Structure 1
Amino acid sequence: MNKQHSDLSLSEVHESVDTTGKPRWRRILAFFGPAYLVSVGYMDPGNWATDLAGGSQFGYSLLWVLLLSNLMALLLQNLSSRLGIVRHKDLAQANREAYPKGVNFILYLLAEIAIAATDLAEVIGMAIGLQLLFELPLMYGVLVTVLDTFLLMFLQRFGMRKLEAFVIGLIFIIAVSFLIQLLVAQPDLKEVASGFVPRLQNDTALYIAIGIIGATVMPHNLYLHSALVQTRKFKNTEDGIKKALKYNLWDSTVALNMAFLVNAAILVLAATVFFKTGRTDVAEIKQAYELLPSHLGSTVASKLFAIALIAAGQSSTVTGTLAGQIIMEGYLKLRINPLVRRLLTRLIAIVPAVLVLALYGEEEVNQLLIFSQVVLSLQLGFAIIPLIHFVSDKKTMGTFAIRTFTKVIAWLITVTLIYLNGRMVVEQLRSFFASSSSLGWKAGIILGVSGVVFLLVYTIVYPFTKTAKRASSSPVHPEPAPLELPGNLQSFPIIAVAVDFGKNDSRLIGQALKQGTTDTKFVLIHVVESVAARFINKEIKDEESKTDKIYLDNYARQMKQKGFKVAWELGYGIPSREIPRIVKSQEADLLVMGAHGHKGLKDFIYGSTINNVRHNVQIPILIVNNDQNVF
């Protein structure tokens, strides 16, 4: 764990996709991708629970909520991408600059809660999908989902475009699965069209509607999109920014409308198969899977349903990981190992799922799924309000600040969301207070709700205050201390050189000699890596160790003939351990190493010696790769 040294959002893939210097159609395609990663959050297992509940209980009547949610999502995601393209900052970074530390920390915690709620839906959805296809107990399925934490680590090694292609492939599987199911169900299109007339029958419909909005317009996607658009390299001119904004709008429109069609397909399927046949009690994914064959006359539809569910959960896993990384690095300037970050997020999601399964059984899991989406909806205001402030600010956005009409629409969306959430909270609290006699719980809930209301008001008002206007942007790094430069520059007294007896040793040793003089002592290092060497160490007398000694002695003799002071030492076992040990024992002042030259899957299989060595030595390391580049 360390404070990050780069203020770039997703620095490992920042501007990794070059859109410049290409024909127009290829440049447009190069911009397509980020919105597809965002769109999977709009069709994750949490959406399924709310769509199934809405379709089976209220028929097609909540389709207008899905459409409204999609329109909200289009506007908000467009604002999010605008922030990243124009200011080159994600939402978390912009918040860190704009709000005081205490408020930022609370906003960070709320964002983490949203990530946990999102991941909870993915965990439960994946577990249900595994249970439906392979009859795996739900508890085991939940625990198995820990393994998919390694998926993103593997995919990122192949680059951003390959990661996007993988996710688009999963989206295609989901879309085709539901298209086939709808063709079998044959819904009445006139009745489907009637569902776009706004109406809410009762409080239950309101609760599900808010869940649909929470599952569709997801707060973590606003953080994610503002970072993902920065993976595209484009000309940072007024014309270049305009084109980037236009192409990203096209990307968002296509991707999010596809997500809307998937969500609508789930709701229409539930309405056609269950509501119209009198099964208004179907609100669980597992129950829908079991009833589909009897209503559609085929088991193929139910299998496709389960496959699509697994694909939805798996694709959402990838984006949840990226969003968690963005939030932690943006708010806290803290970067930890991505695998540790992923495991932490997944464990936070698994704990409540395991507890519910252990205490209440599988029957209550679907309620937990819907509740997670309502939690997401409650977090929306804390992401949307700062976002609107940032993209409205002419001082930082210049000519790309949003227009008055867009600003009014954005604030109307925010007011609508806050009103719906407030109304739902009031209804829930009213029923709780009527049934509970605990004064402690009542007092705690009142204080909590008051705190949330105060924070909402604060995030709205603070950017307009004089304090905010006077506050300067937080620098990427704190002001550095004065440099302590040495008076008399001297070469390194002892230089260690790790050789591997390959074709690049001449280049490696040549670079090492440039760092010293004839008074410098050069120490040649090689490590015998055989299995026997790891156990027997110096006692080994095999052919490899004998040959390696001869080779080292030969290198040393050639260097001595040129007037250099040379010693050598052979290590035994694991290079990442032996090289630091020898460096310390020889009291070297500089270590020169060669890069393996492999990456991606090979690096995953063979490991990275340099990365491990650098954590175990306290001296400078000079790295020379196969192309004679020096790092």
Structure 2
Amino acid sequence: MNKLINVFKDLGPGPLVAAAFIGPGTVTVCAKAGVNFSYALLWALLLSVFICILFQGMAARLGVVSQKGLAQVMRESIANPILKYFVLAVSIAAIIVGNAAYEGGNITGGSMGLTSVFGTLTHDVGPFHFNFYSLLLGTIALLLLLSKSFVRVERFLLTLVVLMSLAFISTALIADIQWSEFFAGLFTFQQPEGSFLTVIALIGTTVVPYNLFLHASLAAKKWKGEEGVVKSKRDVFIAMILGGLVSMAIVVSAAESGLQELLAPHQLADSLAPLYGNIAQYLLAFGLFAAGLTSAITAPLAAGFVAKGCFNLNEKQEKGVVIFVLLVGVTLSSLGLKSLELIQFAQIANAIVLPLIAVVLLWMMNNKALLGNQRNTNIQNILGALVVLFAFGMSLKSIYTLL
């Protein structure tokens, strides 16, 4: 028991990274997968967990050994000026501008969780539609992001992640998992008609490039030395599996909800009450609220880390980027503005940057001068190369679909 307690005491940024990808977008994609295809696409989430363990583990190891963030290492390691500025420019576009667009979705998703329980709280001023829940979430996120104690922020987020995980997993258990279908969907490759884009979405919403930057920077703050590398590996393994379980729980809950179509994530919470009682609705609503709030905090953090590494910003300038991303998100959400074009741009930018950043990360993970005996093994390089090829194909398909 004491060993288990010590493991959780030693947890680092892994759960925060897991919370970063379990945002309202992930809730929506997983819920749609469950509504439209039941358990059949769970294997895609299992594949996503494997990719996350591989690449988030690399990013964390890079941060622990180098004591630098990924963007800073990129800036210092790429000698060719044209290649360097191209990589940094694409990273800036995808992470900072993209996260500003996604931030609106994060805050809106969290607001939907509150709306599902407490009803709407809005006010119309001329053509504008103010959502006070969005302002509330934005204020909470701002206070935490401006906190001078990162440990306090980390503990708050970790607590919220644990509660969110319990909420989603408990909802799935209440909804009565069909275990034979669950394991068939998990370990059998299935692609029902019309499911290809959903498979891409399930993987794309779990394996996101900004988490690589976030993980490296947070790991550098948390640990150092070979002992830190060992702890970071365990942290990544536990957190990514937990994140995968939460995503699978959402798929299961949606599959058992009886919904025929899902237009917004809060519909799932509303649909569970008649079937499994109000407790299921409240658990899922809280999970959606927590998913929105944690992503609303981690997205600006990641943008700040990237900007600092790319431009060598001081702390005040980094905070300015963080606040900018948050304010854009709050504005898009609280005014009810349609941010479809911005979100589409963010998706295109992320689709482009993922294989690019993965290639750069793989290259840096073989730098003996930077990592010494902690550089990649041959097996890690082979698996990483296969993932890069897969990500490149996924990017082409995503861009083609969006355009």
Q: Would you call these one fold, judging by a TM-score over 0.5?
A: yes
| Paired amino acid for 2:178 | D
**Where does 1:335-414 land on structure 2 (aligned, <5 Å)?**
335=314, 336-337=316-317, 339-350=319-330, 352-353=332-333, 357-358=336-337, 376-414=350-388
Q: Gaps (5+ residues) in structure 2? A: 123-128
User: What do residues 257-310 of structure 1 show as CA deviations (whole Å, max 9, x unaligned)?
Assistant: 111111100001111223xxxx331242122122111222x1221122111111
Letter in 2 for 1:194: A
State how 1:449-460 maps to structure 2 within 5 Å: none
- CA apart distance, 1:320: 2.0
Aligned to 1:38: 17
Distance 2:4 2:255 in 1: 41
Letter in 2 for 1:290: D
Task: Tell me, yes or no, if the aligned pair for 1:293 and 1:299 is still in contact at 8 Å.
Answer: yes
User: Which residue, 168, 189, 207 being the options, matches 1:217?
Assistant: 207
Provide the C-alpha distance between the structure 1 equivalents of 2:311 and 2:342, rounded to a whole number of angstroms: 30
Q: CA deviation at 1:369?
A: 7.7
Aligned twin of 2:282:
303
- Structure 1 position 173, deviation (Å): 1.4
In structure 1, what residue type is equivalent to 2:234? W
Q: Which amino acid aligns with 1:102?
A: Y
Question: Hey, what's the Cα distance between the residues in 1 that align with 2:385 and 2:351?
Answer: 16
The whole-number CA distance in structure 2 between the counterparts of 1:264 and 1:313 is: 18
Q: Which residue of 2 aligns with 1:150?
A: 142
Match of 1:288 in 2: 268
Cα distance in 2, alignment partners of residues 46 and 288 from structure 1: 14
What amino acid sits opposite 1:226 in the alignment? Answer: A
Three-state SS of the structure 2 residue aligned to 1:195 is helix
The CA deviation string for residues 42-90 of structure 1, in whole angstroms up to 9 with x for no partner, is: 3221110100111100111110111101110000011001111222221
* CA gap 1:90/1:289 in 2 versus in 1, 3 angstroms: same
Equivalents in 1 of 2:5, 2:273: separation in Å? 44
Equivalent residue letter for 1:291: S
Over residues 26-53 of structure 1, what are the superposed CA-to-partner deviations in whole Å (9 max), with x where a residue is unaligned?
A: 9966642211221111322111010011
Contact 1:114 1:379 in 2 (8 A): no
Please tell me whether the aligned partners of residues 348 and 399 of structure 2 are also in contact (alpha carbons under 8 angstroms).
no
Deviation at 1:252, TM superposition (A): 0.9
CA–CA distance in 2 between the matches of 1:370 and 1:312? 21
Equivalent pair of 1:214/1:373 in contact (CA under 8 Å): no
Contact 1:62 1:209 in 2 (8 A): yes
Does structure 1 residue 333 correspond to structure 2 residue 294?
Answer: no
Q: Matched residue of 2:241: which SS?
A: helix
Work out whether residues 81 and 226 of structure 1, in 8 Å CA contact, stay in contact via their aligned partners in 2: yes
Q: Tell me if structure 2 keeps the 8 A contact 1:392–1:401.
A: yes
1:164 to 2:144 alignment = no
- Secondary structure of 1:392's counterpart equals coil
For structure 1, the 5+ residue unaligned runs are 1-23, 235-239, 430-631
Aligned pairs for 1:173-188 (under 5 A) are 173-188=163-178
- Give the match for residue 51 of structure 2: 72
Name the structure 2 match of 1:314.
Answer: 293
Match of 1:303, SS state, is helix
**1:510-589 residue pairs with structure 2 within 5 A?**
none
Match of 2:303 among 324, 328, 337: 324
* CA deviation after TM superposition for structure 1 residue 372, in Å: 6.1
CA distance in 2 between partners of 1:194 and 1:225 (Å): 32
Contact conserved, 1:119 with 1:317, CA < 8 A, in 2? yes
Q: Is the 8 A contact 1:116 1:345 kept in 2?
A: yes
For 1:255, the equivalent position in structure 2 comes to 239
- Given that 1:66 and 1:212 are in contact with CA atoms closer than 8 Å, whether structure 2 keeps it comes out as yes
2:400 is matched with which residue: 426, 436, 460? 426
Structure 1 position 329, deviation (Å): 0.7
Within 5 A, what are the aligned runs for 1:605-624?
Answer: none
TM-score, normalization by structure 1: 0.57
In structure 1, the residue matched to 2:126 is none
Closer/same/farther in 2, CA of residues 372 and 127 from structure 1, 3 Å limit: farther
**Distance of aligned partners of 1:393 and 1:358 in 2 relative to their CA distance in 1, 3 Å threshold:** closer
Look up the match of 1:102.
Answer: 85
Match of 1:245 among 229, 249, 268: 229
Shift of 1:370: 9.3
Change (3 A) 1:421 1:368: same
Letter in 1 for 2:11: F
Q: 2: distance between equivalents of 1:417 and 1:143?
A: 36
Who is 1:198 aligned against? 189
Distance 1:424 1:376, change over 3 A: closer
- Summarize the Cα distance change of 1:127–1:374 in structure 2 as closer, same or farther, 3 Å threshold: farther
Residue type at the aligned position of 2:236: S
C-alpha spacing 1:32/1:289, structure 2 compared with 1 (3 Å)? closer
CA contact (8 A) 1:117 1:376 kept: no
Amino acid of the residue matched to residue 21 of structure 2?
Y
Report the aligned-residue RMSD.
2.9
Q: Deviations for 1:411-440, whole angstroms, at most 9, x for unmatched residues? A: 1111111102212333454xxxxxxxxxxx
Describe the shift of the 1:113–1:338 C-alpha distance in structure 2 as closer, same or farther (beyond 3 A).
closer
Higher relative contact order (CA 8 A, sep 6+): 2
Question: TM (normalized to structure 2)?
Answer: 0.86
The answer (yes or no) to whether the contact 1:39–1:259 under 8 Å persists in 2 is yes
Q: Secondary structure at the match of 2:18?
A: helix
Residue 146 of structure 1: how far off its partner (Å): 3.0
Relative to total residues, which structure has the larger helix share, 1 or 2? 2
**CA offset digits 1:136-180 (Å, max 9, x no partner):** 2484133444313423246x43442x3322112112211222233
State whether residues 348 and 398 of structure 2, in contact with CA within 8 Å, keep that contact through their aligned partners in structure 1: no
Contact 2:98-2:342 at 8 Å conserved across structures: no
Counterpart-to-counterpart distance in 1, 2:164 and 2:346: 22
Higher Cα Rg, which structure: 1
Aligned counterpart, 2:254:
270
Q: Provide the C-alpha distance between the structure 1 equivalents of 2:309 and 2:337, rounded to a whole number of angstroms.
A: 36
Paired positions, count = 387
Per-residue displacement from partner, 1:331-383 (whole Å, max 9, x unpaired)?
A: 0112335553333102333455567x456xxxx98x99899667644432232
Counterpart AA for 1:309:
L
Which residue type is aligned with residue 216 of structure 2? S
Can you list the C-alpha shifts for 1:512-562, whole angstroms capped at 9, x where unaligned?
xxxxxxxxxxxxxxxxxxxxxxxxxxxxxxxxxxxxxxxxxxxxxxxxxxx
Does the C-alpha gap of structure 1 residues 122 and 329 become closer, same or farther in structure 2, counting only changes over 3 Å?
Answer: same
2:351/2:398 contact within 8 Å kept? no
2:103–2:329 Cα contact (<8 Å) kept: yes
Identity score, percent = 25
Distance 2:184 2:342 in 1: 30
Q: Which moved more, 1:367-376 or 1:380-389?
A: 367-376
2: CA distance between counterparts of 1:328 and 1:294? Answer: 47
